[in-house]
Amino acid sequence: MNLCTNAYHAMRDTGGTLKVGLLPFQLGAETSSPHPALQPGNYMVMTVSDTGSGIPADVLPRIFDPFFTTHESAGGTGLGLSTILGIVNGWRGAIDVYTLPGEGTEFEILIPSAPKAP
């Protein structure tokens, strides 16, 4: 929900497109991953992308910091992305951010799939 709210804020003045997706993904031992701590196995990949303003390069390194916000006037607490990161880490997953200022942002979250029930 927080990622969609952030996307709304990024597009509120100009409009745009918000996309949410969920796909299975298998990470093999030979698969190259930017997250070496991820164990090989089955994952679900959730993507949330927007065609909004993007994240400026000087802001990007801080987006997961607790209490960091660029939305003071909108009442943001700066806890949304840090909470998401904590949840993803707690589930032994990973999160990536791809952004281009003026073109949009995509968050990609990998979470291990639950084992199939017998």
β-sheet with 18-27: strand ranges across: 18-27, 41-50, 104-112, 94-100
**SS3 call for 5:** helix
* Of the candidates 60, 76, 57, the residue with the CA atom closest to the CA atom of residue 2: 76
pLDDT at 33 over 90: no
Q: What is the per-residue pLDDT for 21?
A: 97
pLDDT at 96 over 80: yes
Q: Does the predicted TM-score (pTM) go above 0.75?
A: yes
